[in-house]
Structure 1
Amino acid sequence: MTTLVVCLDRTDDVGRKTGLRSPVVGWEAVRALVTDVGLADPEDSGVNTLLESLRVAQNLRDENEDVVVAVVSGDRESMVSADRAVAEQLDVLIDDHDPDSAVVVTDSAEDERLIPIVESRVRVDSVDRVVVRQARDIESTYYLLKQFLADEELRQTVLVPIGLTLLVFPLLATTVGPAEGAAAITTVIGLFLLYKGFNIDERLTRLTRQTRESLYSGQVSVVTYVVAAGLTLVGLFVGALGVSSLEHTSGVVVPAMRFVFDSIPWLAMAALTASAGRLLDEAIGEDPIRQSFFNLPFIVLAVSLVVRGFSAYFLEQQNVIDPFVVPAAELGVLQNERIIMGASERLALFVVTAIVVSLIGARIAASVSGTRGELDRPDGGSDAGLADGGPPSAPDVEREPNGGAEAAVNSDADPDPAPDRTDPELTDGGADSNAGPDPSENRER
């Protein structure tokens, strides 16, 4: 069993300080590298990382394991080029030594981002992060502060918000008061922390990239999404108008139910429009349409019916809306009177209708997906022909008992017939069986 003890250096500190090109492989080479890095920068934690790599390799050798110790460095131009350089060096090490597992040694969170690259090429049994103990005095604190100020990313993340706070607080304190200024600054800091905590910047970047790709590719969903956004605004506006038309009502339940009752049709139309655009994009594309895209419009309609039914129930209980009335109709000789449905009957009607709509949607989605699956089969759906009474497929022809295609193939490939049968019409006990079936016999059968 061969174990690769690899020391990761994403920012190429080893190459920048010693001028050596990585990877550096072998016990003696890494031990010499410790001296070179220590002479170039004795305060660098990379020296301790190299020593830790040698210590881990020595412990594994004491356990009678075949160990290869190496140092892999990235690139200083960009993080992408650094990761690609590390990936190329790992490929070279794996091709040369063929390790069964690896032990990764790092000294920072920046280097630990390379671990997935190592895991994609060889099994990682352990990750050893080196933490250097520092003396807790004024000099070490000053040194750490100096190192902190030298990091550009940390400066932009920490110092810029603190500087803006110190500038804005005196202005707010003199204009609106100290308490209001402190509240405003605290709110801004809280929003900034939430912005960073939820990775909103990355989400916005990904959304912008997806929107640009959708516009360039000419997807129908771009137009339907815009229409859905407009319908959503209309629904919110109609719901707000419904709430404003209420008389003085205590509590928030009735206004909330009124808002939902008035806005849910528009919101449902918005969701149906968006799902229809997504379904059209899937239909235009080359990949088969997933069953969920067929089922989504029916689910949206069913949920909207249930929500509107429950909101109507609460509003009718409070006498905000009138009962549901089924008008009278004349159908030839049949006549029915006007039917007035109560709150419970209306709710039951909406719930039952929603269940029926969802069942119909599931049935249609399953049938459409099954049909597309048969059309996409490589054999062209030959089993459907058998179900309809069409001609049998090739395997069925070969299974014909009285000298079909299989007998012809077997007579050419193997002159000795498989079954030992004695035809009563042959006087020699079936000696002419190799000659194949008699055409006249087939015609008689």
Structure 2
Amino acid sequence: MTTLVVCLDRTDDVGRRTGLRTPIVGWEAVRALVTDVGLADPEDSGVNTLLESLRVAQSLRDENEETVVAVVSGDRESMVSADRAVARQIDDLMAEYEPDSAIVVIDSAEDERLVPIVESRVQVDAVDRVVVRQARDIESTYYLLKQFLADEELRQTILVPLGITLLVFPILATVFSPAIGAATITAVIGLFLLYKGFSIDELLTTFAKQARESLYSGQVSVVTYVVAIGLTLVGLFVGALGVSNLGETEGAIVPTMQFVFDSIPWLTAAALTASTGRLLDEIIREEPIRSSFLHLPFLAVAVGLVVRGFAAFFLEQQGQLGPLVIDQPGIATVALTPGQRLAVFVAGGVLLSLIGVRTVSSMTGPRGPTDDSDDTTGDAASSGEDTSRSETESGDDTESDHSRDTTPSNPSGDAELTDGGSKANDSADESNG
């Protein structure tokens, strides 16, 4: 089975740059043509098309398939003459090599129009479109768009919002005005970009997964989170209601402080409820409680006190809030100034946070006396073992020294014995002699 790998060039770029006439057939001939075209115009995408033809032919050869690689060009006079020139060259290749199938390699929309000519003469198994990265030609946009449309995720991310925008804008422009329609569409597009940029979809997916797991596992925090959401909504409503009762005010500072002053007790209660539920989950698990969960309730109330104190300070300075009066029955009634009121709230928040730190440190502090006594006993035992071990070693050293001292050493005696032995041997030799 023979496969024809043909590279199509409708505008005869190969002939104009190299002066060669097509068809150019054979591995070595096409390989040399790559160098010629590349030297003539390094930026031409035809170089990549020729290399792709060689790559396809090589991959087919690796599969033990007989291949014929060829380059076919058209004519520069007109499109009709170019197509006829390509048809004539394809007929010559078919008559000479008789391929069973063909693989067409192209690099532009212009060359793609030659594919039906090849299909009318031989079975085309594949059309390999070469898209050069960072190509300057507008032709490559055609293939990039086709690749883009083939990606389902990109279609849903880009085309669906674009289609909705094109449908909604005429409706808004007709019902209201073009300015309102453009402003609305721009705002929606901005929100969508922020939604995708901050990966809010992934955060929502993670939150839904955690909520589902919490429901199935029966955690207490599920109920407390719902209560916290309700308290948050109440706080926002109370804050908005307080702002609506202000009347006409200049600037946005006073309404903002009024909103914070009215809503912060409810928001603090929501944070306290949520943190308490999370703490109960940790206690139910019968595992060591992390200190961060113990800090949260104290921290929520402390922050609420400080924020409410600052909001009250600004409102009292603007005359929107009366002074804080401390009524002590039987003693006196004290009215605090704005600064004193702020100091009381800040001091209360700091004191509460210190109480929380002290409470948490006492619950998760160092080991008690029992553990310390155990450590002392263990240290004493280990020191006793070390002492006995050292005494044993010292006793062994004493015995070894004593044995060395009591060992008889008489070098002269040894010498006499040696000499006597040698003399006896000498006398025995003389008698034998």
Tell me the TM-score range normalised by the shorter chain: 0.5 to 0.7
Q: In the aligned structure 1, how far is the partner of 2:282 from the partner of 2:60?
A: 57
- Is residue 260–residue 311 contact of structure 1 (8 Å, CA) maintained in 2? yes
- Is residue 132–residue 140 contact of structure 2 (8 Å, CA) maintained in 1? no
Opposite residue 284 of structure 1, the aligned amino acid is: I
- SS of 2:325's equivalent in the other structure is strand
Q: Is residue 36 of structure 1 aligned with residue 51 of structure 2?
A: no
CA separation of 1:135 and 1:248: change in aligned 2, threshold 3 A: closer
Q: In the aligned structure 1, how far is the partner of 2:326 from the partner of 2:358?
A: 29
Give the number of aligned pairs. 285
Q: Which residue of 2 aligns with 1:351?
A: 346
Q: Which residue of 2 aligns with 1:281?
A: 281
Q: In the aligned structure 2, how far is the partner of 1:406 from the partner of 1:187?
A: 79
CA separation of 1:183 and 1:319: change in aligned 2, threshold 3 A: closer
Q: Which residue of 1 aligns with 2:123?
A: none
Displacement after TM superposition at 1:311 (Å): 1.4
Displacement after TM superposition at 1:162 (Å): 2.7
Per the normalisation by structure 2, the TM-score is 0.57
Q: Which residue of 2 aligns with 1:185?
A: 185
Percent identity for Structure 1 against Structure 2: 57
- SS of 1:274's equivalent in the other structure is helix
Per the normalisation by structure 1, the TM-score is 0.56
Displacement after TM superposition at 1:409 (Å): 6.9
Q: In the aligned structure 1, how far is the partner of 2:173 from the partner of 2:282?
A: 57
Of 395, 411, 422 in structure 2, the residue corresponding to residue 417 of structure 1 is 395
CA separation of 1:137 and 1:290: change in aligned 2, threshold 3 A: same
CA separation of 1:350 and 1:184: change in aligned 2, threshold 3 A: closer
Q: Which residue of 1 aligns with 2:173?
A: 173
Q: Which residue of 2 aligns with 1:250?
A: 250
Opposite residue 288 of structure 1, the aligned amino acid is: P
Q: In the aligned structure 1, how far is the partner of 2:283 from the partner of 2:154?
A: 48
Q: How does 1:75-90 map to 2 (within 5 A)?
A: none
- SS of 1:300's equivalent in the other structure is helix
Q: In the aligned structure 2, how far is the partner of 1:284 from the partner of 1:364?
A: 20
Displacement after TM superposition at 1:364 (Å): 1.3
Q: In the aligned structure 2, how far is the partner of 1:41 from the partner of 1:283?
A: 70
Q: In the aligned structure 2, how far is the partner of 1:36 from the partner of 1:341?
A: 89
CA separation of 1:188 and 1:41: change in aligned 2, threshold 3 A: farther
Q: In the aligned structure 2, how far is the partner of 1:140 from the partner of 1:32?
A: 21
- Is residue 279–residue 294 contact of structure 2 (8 Å, CA) maintained in 1? yes
Q: How does 1:281-320 map to 2 (within 5 A)?
A: 281-320=281-320
Structural RMSD (CA): 3.4
- SS of 1:305's equivalent in the other structure is helix
- SS of 1:357's equivalent in the other structure is helix
Larger Cα-atom Rg: 2
Cα-to-partner distance string for 1:151-191 (whole Å, 9 max, x where unaligned): 33332222223333333333333333333333332222222
Q: How does 1:263-274 map to 2 (within 5 A)?
A: 263-274=263-274
- Structure 1 runs (4+) deviating above 6 angstroms are 31-34, 37-41, 407-411, 418-421
Q: Which residue of 1 aligns with 2:363?
A: 368
Displacement after TM superposition at 1:274 (Å): 0.7
- Is residue 243–residue 259 contact of structure 1 (8 Å, CA) maintained in 2? yes
Greater helix fraction, Structure 1 or Structure 2: 2
Q: Which residue of 1 aligns with 2:377?
A: 393
Q: Which residue of 1 aligns with 2:337?
A: 342
- Is residue 306–residue 354 contact of structure 1 (8 Å, CA) maintained in 2? yes
Q: Is residue 234 of structure 1 aligned with residue 257 of structure 2?
A: no
Q: Which residue of 2 aligns with 1:98?
A: none
Opposite residue 417 of structure 1, the aligned amino acid is: G
- Is residue 220–residue 278 contact of structure 1 (8 Å, CA) maintained in 2? yes
- SS of 1:248's equivalent in the other structure is coil
Displacement after TM superposition at 1:366 (Å): 1.5
